[in-house]
Amino acid sequence: MIEKSLTIKPQIVMTIAGSDSGGGAGIAADLKTFAALGVHGTCAITSITAQNTTGVLESFDLTPEAIASQIEAVCTDMEVKWAKTGMLASSEIVREVAKEVRKHGLSIVLDPVMAAEAGGNLLRKEAISVLIEELLPLCKVTTPNAFEAGDLAGMAVKTPEDAKVAAKKIADIGVEAVIVTGGHLDATDLLYEATSDTFTRIPGTFVKGGTHGSGCTYSAAVTAFLASGESLESAARKAKKFVEQAILMSRPVGRGAGPINQLGATLDEKERYLVLRELKEAVSILENSFDFSKLIPEVGCNIGMAIPQADGYKDVAAVEGRIVKHKGRAVSVGCVDFGASRHVARIILASLRKNPEIRAAINVKYSREALAACREMKLGISSFDRAEEPENTSTMDWGTVEAIKKYGSVPKVIYDKGGPGKEPMIRLLGASATEVAKLAVELAEKID
Ligand code: PXL
């Protein structure tokens, strides 16, 4: 039996909220956020919404008993200190949740969910006063947006100044801290801490992308950071950054309000790690070959690989100082890193725009013999002529596109015969850095 000893206990948090069948908001957003932030998430579902990106079609509330039973099941087994509340549709649900919060001494982040982004009321009007009177005073933090802050404070919140007045009014109800999120104002969140009577402005950036589930994600992130021991101000800053990244990483889903992507940044990091690992292995394949140094051009060789969906040179990793010939062997000068070579990045980016499966390239020394060996290896070959290059382009952008156009798809080999002051060159393209490194070694073994 294989065992991995993960002895450090995770923080356990809970979301008491509704389900969004579209997977964008509610418990889906909360649990993904908890997972991304390394805490163990549990949930008590309050309502089930039949929902997609165009709005809430129907909503079914669970009975107060069913909600209490879920909270009991979790809290009698696991140590839950911090929890958040989301959609609490009715007065009865709000009252039951307040009872359970008291019973288990939960520290609560209250997200005063009132309406769905794409449309649909999620909190009955008559329940707002019960939420204010019976649940809010039991909570540590509440995270209203401008509209919700207005409803809680009984005023219109249209400016950052209004947000200040509203935050104080809401704190007067009995909650220890209020964060009025600035997504509908100037992107700056306002944190008011009643215990010290202080306001803290938390500036942010408007980012483009789907925002469905951003309120849920924000309050879940605040909860996770507080459970992990962060101060409230630090939790608020980190949660804001987390939401901005998740909006930036949103993907086109559905016809309406697109969901934010809580795991986007984590998966991006994973891909970057895999690319660096792959590239390091490719470099050692080249360094361990007795033949490859024959193929190192005068200007040195570089090898690069992009993450999937790369859209800039910083998404492509390469060797920082190139690979050079030293005592008859290939030696890499510098580490592998993202953004290390705009040159290799241009070749790869131009290729993967035509074929996303092509994510790696290496440049090697041109010779007629090397080109003949490529033909012998039955590699698809294309080329460009520097003399035909228009002004004000980058040779690698233009040349790669030109060679692909001529060939009809991305070939394995793109060469050019050089120009004034420009060494002729062969580029090998492929799906991964190790694939192109192995190809380069095979090619080197075929020539004198
Ligand atoms: O974003 C608020 C929210 C909370 N909970 C559920 C929701 C929504 C918004 O759509 O569907 C279940």
Instruction: Give the model confidence (pLDDT) of 29-66 as tens digits.
Output: 999 999 999 999 999 999 999 999 999 999 999 999 99
Whether 287 contacts 330, CB under 8 Å: yes
Cβ < 6 A, ligand 1 pocket: 17-20, 25-26, 49, 51, 86-87, 113, 116-117, 122, 213, 215-216
Q: What is the mean pLDDT of residues 355-365?
A: 98
pLDDT above 90 (res 159): yes
pLDDT at 5: 77
pLDDT at 83: 98
Q: What is the mean pLDDT of residues 197-212?
A: 96
Q: What is the mean pLDDT of residues 136-163?
A: 96
Q: What is the mean pLDDT of residues 92-117?
A: 96
Query: Whole-angstrom distance between the N-terminal and C-terminal Cα of the chain?
Result: 51
Q: How far apart are CA 235 and CA 232, in angstroms?
A: 5
Pocket test for ligand 1, best of 49, 53, 247 (most atoms within 8 A of CB): 49
Q: How far apart are CA 235 and CA 242, in angstroms?
A: 10
pLDDT above 90 (res 418): yes
pLDDT at 233: 98
**Residue whose structure tokens are 């948090």:** 13
Six token digits for residue 171: 């704190």
**Which ligand 1 atom sits closest to the C-alpha of 17?**
5
pLDDT at 7: 78
CATH 3.40.225.10 region(s) of the chain?
A: 269-446
CA of 54 to the centre of ligand 1 (A): 13
CA-nearest residue, atom 11 of ligand 1? 20
CA of 23 to the centre of ligand 1 (A): 10
Q: What is the mean pLDDT of residues 92-109?
A: 98
Tell me the CATH class for 12-262: alpha beta
CATH 3.40.1190.20 region(s) of the chain?
A: 12-262
CA-nearest residue, atom 6 of ligand 1? 26
* Confidence class for position 448, pLDDT limits 50, 70, 90: confident
Whether 143 contacts 181, CB under 8 Å: yes
With the CA atoms of 59, 63, 69 and 72 taken in that order, what torsion angle do they form, in degrees rounded to the nearest 10? 80
pLDDT above 80 (res 6): no
- Sign of the alpha-carbon dihedral angle for 103, 107, 110, 111: negative
89: helix, strand or coil: coil
What is the model's pTM?
0.92
CA-nearest residue, atom 4 of ligand 1? 26
pLDDT at 1: 84
pLDDT above 90 (res 211): yes
Whether 242 contacts 33, CB under 8 Å: yes
CA of 388 to the centre of ligand 1 (A): 57
Q: In which region does residue 402 sit, left (phi positive, over 0), alpha (psi from -120 to 50) or beta (all else)?
A: alpha
The distance between the two most distant Cα atoms of the chain, rounded to a whole number of Å, is 86
* Confidence class for position 119, pLDDT limits 50, 70, 90: confident
In this predicted model, what pLDDT tens digit does every residue of 312-345 receive, in sequence order?
999 999 999 999 999 999 999 999 999 999 999 9
Alpha helices in 335-432 (DSSP H): 342-354, 368-376, 395-407
- Strand 55-61 to strand 80-85: parallel, antiparallel, or no bridges (unpaired)? unpaired
pLDDT at 24: 96
CA of 123 to the centre of ligand 1 (A): 10
pLDDT at 183: 79
Of 65-79, 106-120, 339-353, 434-448, the least confident: 106-120
CA of 402 to the centre of ligand 1 (A): 49
CA of 372 to the centre of ligand 1 (A): 62
pLDDT at 299: 94
In this predicted model, what pLDDT tens digit does every residue of 258-309 receive, in sequence order?
999 999 999 999 999 999 999 999 999 999 999 999 999 999 999 999 999 9
Does domain 269-446 correspond to CATH entry 3.40.225.10? Answer: yes
Nearest to 259 by CA among 15, 37, 53, 118: 53
- Sign of the alpha-carbon dihedral angle for 318, 319, 324, 327: negative
pLDDT at 404: 98
CA-nearest residue, atom 1 of ligand 1? 213
Q: How far apart are CA 235 and CA 139, in angstroms?
A: 16
Strand partners, 316: 306
**Which ligand 1 atom sits closest to the C-alpha of 216?**
1
Angle between helices 264-287 and 433-446 (to 10 degrees): 20
**Which ligand 1 atom sits closest to the C-alpha of 118?**
10
8-state DSSP, 156: -
Of 109-123, 197-211, 215-229, 258-272, the least confident: 109-123
Angle between helices 368-376 and 433-446 (to 10 degrees): 110
CB-based burial, 8-31: b 16+ in 10 Å, e otherwise: eeebbbbbbbbbbebbbbbbbbbb
Mean of all residue pLDDT scores within the chain = 96
CA-nearest residue, atom 9 of ligand 1? 116
Nearest to 127 by CA among 107, 143, 149, 151: 151
CB-based burial, 181-196: b 16+ in 10 Å, e otherwise: bbbebebbbbbbbbee
- Strand 381-383 to strand 303-306: parallel, antiparallel, or no bridges (unpaired)? unpaired
CA of 129 to the centre of ligand 1 (A): 20
Whether 149 contacts 181, CB under 8 Å: no
In this predicted model, what pLDDT tens digit does every residue of 60-94 receive, in sequence order?
999 999 999 999 999 999 999 999 999 999 999 99
Pocket test for ligand 1, best of 113, 217, 219, 243 (most atoms within 8 A of CB): 113
* Confidence class for position 8, pLDDT limits 50, 70, 90: confident
pLDDT at 320: 96
